[in-house]
Amino acid sequence: MLPQIRDYDKLVAAFRWQIPARYNIGIDACDKWAVKEPDRLALLVKQPKGFETVSYGRLMEDSNRLANALKANGVKRGDRVAIILPQATETAISHLAIYKLGSVALPLAILFGVEALVYRLENSDARAVITNAAGLAKLAEIRGKLPELKLVLSIDGAADGALGFHETLARASSSFTPVETSPDDPAMMIYTSGTTGPPKGALHGHRVLLGHLPGVELPHEFMPQPGDRMWTPADWAWAGGLLDVLLPALSLGVPVVAKKFDKFDPQEAFALMADAEVRNAFIPPTALRMLRSAAKPREKLRLRTLGSGGESLGEETYAWGRETLGLTINEFYGQTECNLVLSSAAAIGVSKAGAIGKPVPGHTVAVIRPDGGICEPGELGQIAVKRPDPVMFLEYWKRPDATRDKFIGDWMTTGDQGVADYEGYVRFVGRDDDVITSAGYRIGPGEIEDCLIRHPAVALAAAIGKPDPVRTEIVKAFVQLKPGYTGSNALAVEIQDFVRTRLSAHEYPREVVFVSEMPMTTTGKVIRRLLREKA
């Protein structure tokens, strides 16, 4: 969707949205390619004994079969169909089938426990679930609480009231005519990560994929380019995995590498990128920090672009990308409700350590005051996106009040504090609730955490504000150490001094706690709310 213009200002000026009157994600991400080039490579799935190749033709045929099967089992246009699967061929097939049927895909992380699942399935009135044996075991505990759930399909075969996914497809016709949908017709619902309260279902129209394309093409430096091949460790149930990688890559004709990670392993990640000849990767900051803490990759990588988002990248990780991987990590920004609206793009000179980037062409983004006025350069405010915008959500499911409160006039607020500079770069400071107020200073946790991980003993770190009768709050750091280090009072003091001498006296953590594991969402974000409660 981006014109091949290598000057940011000229690119923004030349950009125009191309939103047709009729549009369906299933057709755009699959059928348009399958009809022209049925053997074109769509997925490269890592299996125990090598890679399984999946063509667009197979995706079209199997998604048609599934659409027919869902329809035969009473799933209608607008019904919510949950997908509880890891990165796998069946996951892509399920998404495409649901879109072509006109139903609403409800991606749910395989790591969710029964309480998280029952909340989302009950709140969404899910009509059907597509899962595996592990998901079935969880559903068995809660199915009595889900009266609207009429159909369960398992990719591991029939069991516990579920039909076999593959057996059901085998009995269905491979011929299916996708329903006609408009760009604003509901296509998917993704629940917010719940870092600041109960998750809300962000309902998106089919246009959400078109809205993502510029924000994928920019950090991946005018994707598609010859030889591009994309991968992310992010769960496809998250907007980052689904809408930053899987669906845009399929729409652009770029093969997607898939692998189920039970737990992110840096050496496995390096090996996969080398073996699958990955050219384009989206790796969230926490995973990048884990890669940075590991040994340098032995394998030869062929990366052309590396994007990161979901949390603040930080100057330390930015520098590591250049020094170790030999490329500039292009940071980008968005949220479940309105994703990929700010980005870096080193290829056209849009890159600055510590900054997210600039507005992606087609999006109006600003840092605003509580009254909706635009902040001056250097003034702290809230990052906001102006409507109408094709990547913006339709509404919060069953929450008209929350939908209304999300806006100040035509500005969709993000709940994220930021600062814009005179060049137009935006720097992420932290969530509204994450910003620390200490002795009159407003302190973003990102800068402190970035400094903490520079210490040779620190693998991961999180900074929060702990209530204090004198200073309002003090900075408290939770630190996960690298292997070979043991927490002690002496090490805590050393870490405090390390930050104090590099930042300032008001920013250093007055308390340091060592933890064996950080509380994280399934998207790899630290849940600071839980750390604040612990503090």
CATH of the domain at 140: 3.40.50.12780
Is residue 132, in this structure, part of any structural domain at all?
yes
Task: Read off the pLDDT of each residue in 213-225 and give the average, rounded to a whole number.
Answer: 98
Q: Using an 8 Å Cβ cutoff, are 360 and 341 in contact?
A: yes
Q: What percent of the chain has pLDDT over 70?
A: 97
Is residue 339, in this structure, part of any structural domain at all?
no
Task: Read off the pLDDT of each residue in 509-531 and give the average, rounded to a whole number.
Answer: 83
pLDDT for 268: 92
Fill in the DSSP letter of residue 348. G
Is residue 326, in this structure, part of any structural domain at all?
no
Task: Reply yes or no on whether the pLDDT at 475 is more than 80.
Answer: yes
Task: Reply yes or no on whether the pLDDT at 160 is more than 90.
Answer: no
Using the 3D structure, point to which of 205, 222, 251 is the last residue of a domain.
205
Alpha-carbon dihedral 276, 279, 281, 286, rounded to 10 degrees? 80
The candidate with the shortest Cα–Cα distance to 60, out of 72, 87, 42, 80, is 42
Kindly give the interhelix angle for 89-101 and 56-72, rounded to the nearest 10 degrees: 60
Is residue 453, in this structure, part of any structural domain at all?
yes
Q: Which domain holds residue 129?
A: 24-205
Q: Tell me the per-residue pLDDT of 426-463, one tens digit each, with 9 for 90 and over.
A: 998 877 767 787 766 667 787 788 889 989 999 999 99
Using the 3D structure, point to which of 205, 238, 263 is the last residue of a domain.
205
pLDDT for 441: 65
Q: Where are the alpha helices (DSSP H) in 180-221?
A: 207-217
CATH code for the domain in which residue 445 is found: 3.30.300.30
Q: Provide the pairing of β-strand 186-191 with 163-164.
A: unpaired
Question: How far out from the chain centre does Cα 349 lie?
Answer: 25
Q: Please give the tally of structural domains in the chain.
A: 2
Task: Reply yes or no on whether the pLDDT at 469 is more than 80.
Answer: no
Task: Read off the pLDDT of each residue in 152-168 and give the average, rounded to a whole number.
Answer: 97
Q: Using an 8 Å Cβ cutoff, are 495 and 458 in contact?
A: yes
Task: Reply yes or no on whether the pLDDT at 196 is more than 80.
Answer: no
Is residue 85, in this structure, part of any structural domain at all?
yes
pLDDT for 444: 72
Secondary structure (DSSP) of 500-524: HHHS-TTTS-SEEEE-SS--B-TTS
Task: Reply yes or no on whether the pLDDT at 195 is more than 60.
Answer: no
Position 284, amino acid:
P
Using the 3D structure, point to which of 180, 205, 230 is the last residue of a domain.
205
**Is the dihedral angle over the CA atoms 185, 393, 330, 301 positive or is it negative?**
negative
Is residue 229, in this structure, part of any structural domain at all?
no
Is residue 516, in this structure, part of any structural domain at all?
yes
Average pLDDT for the chain: 93
Query: What values do phi and psi take at 278, rounded to 5?
Result: -65, 130
Is residue 31, in this structure, part of any structural domain at all?
yes
Q: Provide the pairing of β-strand 305-308 with 280-282.
A: parallel
pLDDT for 524: 67
Q: Using an 8 Å Cβ cutoff, are 451 and 319 in contact?
A: no
Band of pLDDT at residue 357, cut at 50, 70 and 90: very high
Strands (E), 48-197: 50-55, 80-84, 104-107, 128-131, 151-154, 163-164, 186-191
pLDDT for 258: 98
Least reliable range by pLDDT among 113-122, 341-350, 411-420: 113-122
pLDDT for 504: 67
Q: How many CA atoms are closer than 13 Å to the CA of 420, on its beta-carbon side?
A: 19
Least reliable range by pLDDT among 164-173, 219-228, 455-464, 524-533: 524-533
The candidate with the shortest Cα–Cα distance to 456, out of 488, 483, 477, is 483
Band of pLDDT at residue 502, cut at 50, 70 and 90: confident
pLDDT for 507: 80
* Rounded Cα gap, residues 143 and 121, in angstroms: 10
Task: Read off the pLDDT of each residue in 135-139 and give the average, rounded to a whole number.
Answer: 95
Fill in the DSSP letter of residue 254. -
